[in-house]
Structure 1
Amino acid sequence: MLAALILSFAVIFVAELGDKSQLMAMTFALRHRWWVVLSGITVATTAVHLISVAVGHYLGAALPTHLLGILAGVAFVLFGLWTLRGDKLSEDEASKAQRNSAPAFFAVTSAFLLAELGDKTMLATITLAADNDWVGVWIGSTIGMVAADALAILVGALAGKHLPERLIQLGAAALFLVFGVSMLIEGAFPAASGIVIGAISVAVVALAAAALRALPPRLRPAALRPAPQVAPAPEDAPESAPSSVGGDGGRAAAPKPSDEPA
């Protein structure tokens, strides 16, 4: 059970980095007390992940054992690609997080229940529970998500701004892809050593990253596109000669004749 707990904690913590759940946690932390937000997240996560491990446990019991590793590898590769695509709050989710007038605890709990249903962290929990102790996966995945969202709450409460999104997305996607490729290789070649599997996995992901970087920017995943350039502020124009505001068409006003005798 301990191994399943540690594995699921690590996987779900990585999956939550840069996820929309963190964006929601930051937004809620700007409006409500941190312990209320964290309590709502914990309740919602416990419920969603209990459903996830139940589905994964019975699904795993119905599948041949040798297929689980390959299916898990495919799933984690998809998680990595999903992370590269990027994840942002929809207008409806942002509105719920910013303007909900219901009591804070119930607002946070309901928002996270809806946001996590069908999310990649739920799918990752199902995948882990299919081949590991379900109790360990349940506890580890719940702690992993709460810890990741607690980090977002801390940032939202203290700094009020996001973590470096591009770096987080690239790091999380790379970990998912390496993990997924290693599962696929291990499922296809069970006799291969761990060092060889790890080296091949890193090489495959590095080659895939180089291939994606070679594509035109519009064809790359969102996390690999160049950051939009901010137009520099226009320089101050040289001061022009003063002109009349009246209806003289911008001509300089004629000097008034002097009242003093010549």
Structure 2
Amino acid sequence: MSTVVQGFTKSLAMTVLSEIGDKTFFAAAILAMRHPRRLVLSGCLGALIVMTILSVLVGWAAPNLLSRTWTHHITTVLFFGFGLWSLWDAFKGDGGDDELAEVEAELDAKAGSTKQSSKDDDESKKQNRSFILQFFSPIFLKAFSITFFGEWGDKSQLATIGLAADENPLGVVIGGIIGQALCTTAAVLGGKSLASQISEKIVALSGGVLFIVFGIQSFLSG
């Protein structure tokens, strides 16, 4: 039980500090300003839950492909690497406004390229919609796809894989999903104003310190 709790607390803290102010956080905030919040929340959260489960499965399977010693060493190095990466981001001073503007530009570009196909309220076009779109809203699918592919290969995904390889997978899954739910809900309900009030430097510093602590703990527990 203690390993489940440890995996849960580590995953929850890591997820919250990694996702606040992330690209997917801003994407959820912007989408929620343009579309119904319930669809954006369900789409973004669904993508993040799927991503979390996939990442944990990869981390859980890693010791079966490599020796437990090697996966432990790789995880330790990942934690230190992500910690230094976050600290570098903090001291480099990249503001959240730049990332917000970048995400807005990307979403506007995608919206412009699909403007012609977005008139799905027209009765004549409903007959030609694909099988999937008859059961899922286009807004849901848009939020899901943007979040899923935006999170793929992200630092938080790789960190989740490393954490699942070193901690109890069940605890990592539960902590990750709860952390994603908290961050995504905050983004949808008022992410843009929230992000402007939170110091990106403090969040990056906190995340960097947390990863370093995880690395030290993993090194000492070897």
Q: Compute the TM-score of the two structures, normalised by the length of structure 1.
A: 0.61
Identify unmatched segments of 5+ residues in structure 2.
119-137
Which residues of 2 match residues 77-156 of structure 1 at below 5 A? 77-86=80-89, 89=99, 93-98=103-108, 100=111, 103-156=138-191
Equivalent AA in structure 2 for residue 97 of structure 1: L
Equivalent AA in structure 1 for residue 181 of structure 2: V
Identify unmatched segments of 5+ residues in structure 1.
188-262
Equivalent AA in structure 2 for residue 177 of structure 1: I
TM-aligned CA deviation for residue 161 of structure 1: 3.6
CA–CA distance in 2 between the matches of 1:162 and 1:31? 21
TM-aligned CA deviation for residue 168 of structure 1: 1.5
In structure 1, what is the equivalent of residue 46 of structure 2? 43
After superposition, the Cα gap between the structure-2 partners of 1:173 and 1:167, relative to the gap in structure 1 and judged at 3 Å, is: same
Matched, 1:59 2:94: no
- After superposing the two structures, state which structure 1 stretch, 115-124 or 10-19, moved more: 10-19
Contact 2:17 2:203 in 1 (8 A): no
Match of 2:8 among 5, 9, 12: 5
CA–CA distance in 1 between the matches of 2:10 and 2:86? 19
Equivalent AA in structure 2 for residue 39 of structure 1: S
Matched, 1:69 2:72: yes
Q: Compute the TM-score of the two structures, normalised by the length of structure 2.
A: 0.71
After superposition, the Cα gap between the structure-2 partners of 1:83 and 1:133, relative to the gap in structure 1 and judged at 3 Å, is: same
In structure 1, what is the equivalent of residue 19 of structure 2? 16
| Partner SS for 1:30 | helix
Q: Which has the higher contact order (CA 8 A, sep 6+)?
A: 2
After superposition, the Cα gap between the structure-2 partners of 1:85 and 1:108, relative to the gap in structure 1 and judged at 3 Å, is: farther
CA–CA distance in 2 between the matches of 1:63 and 1:160? 40
CA–CA distance in 2 between the matches of 1:70 and 1:52? 18
TM-aligned CA deviation for residue 164 of structure 1: 1.9
How many residues get paired?
187
CA–CA distance in 2 between the matches of 1:92 and 1:106? 21
Q: Percent identity?
A: 33
Contact 1:73 1:184 in 2 (8 A): yes
| Partner SS for 1:18 | coil
Equivalent AA in structure 1 for residue 202 of structure 2: L
